Amino acid sequence: MLRVDTPSLMLDIEKLTQNIKAMQAYSLQHHIALRPHIKTHKSVHIAKLQLKHGAVGITVAKLSEAEVMADAGIENIFIAYPISAPQKLKKLLHLTLQANITVAIDSIEQARMMNEFFQSSNQTVEVWIKVDSGLHRCGVTPGEEALSLATFITSCSQLRLTGIFTHAGHSYAAKNTEELLLIGEQEAKAVVESALLCEQANIPILHRSVGSTPTYQISGAVAGITEVRPGNAAFFDMVQVGLGVATVEQCALTVLASVVSTKANRVIVDSGSKSLTSERGAHGNESIKGFGYIKEHPDLTIERLSEEHGIVTFSSPHTLQLNDTIEIIPNHACPVVNLFDSYFVHKNGEHIDTWPVDARGCNK
């Protein structure tokens, strides 16, 4: 085991690279583009590694993430989030002068606000319509409502509509493979049928994008889809393992923790909710047991968390002693990354580099 201070965010460079190559191989096999979501890793190093292996650009969740990536020289960025507040539109304008930026639109009101703002600068911005494929978060209803929004956007002098996209986040709550397949097919259908309706009205839709990690290999194979945007697939985590999308061996990200106390019926480690988060699965996943998977001791359970403490319970004898270290695969990697300043990058048991979590805290 690598001896580093704990808790630390550990990244296996070989597993990361294998996962990135697998995403790219899938996109090449299906003749579609790969635009990975960087909200999982928030890392310039990893984003550039994904681009090096063939990604056409990146996806971000927030404007501030886009700023970090653009400042690092990344030129093709899709902001998969609706932006309308004046202070954010000012930042967006600056970004469009710095990189090739595309922005999500999910209402006529938002489109009107954005168009009016960009009229004052005589600058145009590329936009994609978000459709709701079942998560019931942001997005217009596929079909006629998507067409209505597309029609309005084409009347906006400063907006250039080039795509339709969706995010099937409800796939994280799938109870079995059959349900996952259905969600993936519906995800693609929401985009493809909306795009077809627009094109029948002489509104061309160049990009048709899908992309949750659990479904991208399903929806990405549907005729008419042009790109996928998986994020978590760079690392994987216990939610993906529970869904059957990945194996424990594929998980590239772990949290290294130390035993700080041992009691008759429990072991306490130095990783609590401020290291592992208290999440047990995104969007309702019920496959999770405890607050992370202990690689060296899969029979032990991280039963509860305080902010700085993880309480591990057991039903049979164990060998853990004071100052022993354990590697924990997080339930959900994305929020865990946002709790750390840097990655401890390792290969074959050796520390090879330390990478900053460049966009940590970029939630605006």
**What phi-psi label fits residue 2: left (phi over 0), alpha (psi between -120 and 50 degrees) or beta?**
beta
- The span from the CA of 247 to the CA of 243, in Å, is 10
Summarised one tens digit per residue, pLDDT across range 197-243 is 999 999 999 999 998 999 999 999 999 999 999 999 999 999 999 99
pLDDT, position 287: 79
Summarised one tens digit per residue, pLDDT across range 158-170 is 999 999 999 999 9
Greater pLDDT, 362 or 122: 362
pLDDT, position 44: 98
- The span from the CA of 262 to the CA of 268, in Å, is 6
pLDDT band per the 50, 70, 90 thresholds, residue 190: very high
pLDDT, position 180: 96
83, pLDDT greater than 90:
yes
Strand order across the beta sheet in which 76-82 lies: 33-34, 227-228, 207-210, 159-165, 125-130, 100-105, 76-82, 58-60
250 burial level (CB within 10 Å; 0-12, 13-18, 19+): middle
Residue 195, SS3? helix
pLDDT, position 288: 86
Summarised one tens digit per residue, pLDDT across range 15-64 is 999 999 999 999 999 999 999 999 999 999 999 999 999 999 999 999 99
Residue labelled with tokens 């690279």: 17
pLDDT band per the 50, 70, 90 thresholds, residue 284: low
Residue labelled with tokens 């978590």: 232
pLDDT, position 1: 54
The structure's pTM equals 0.96
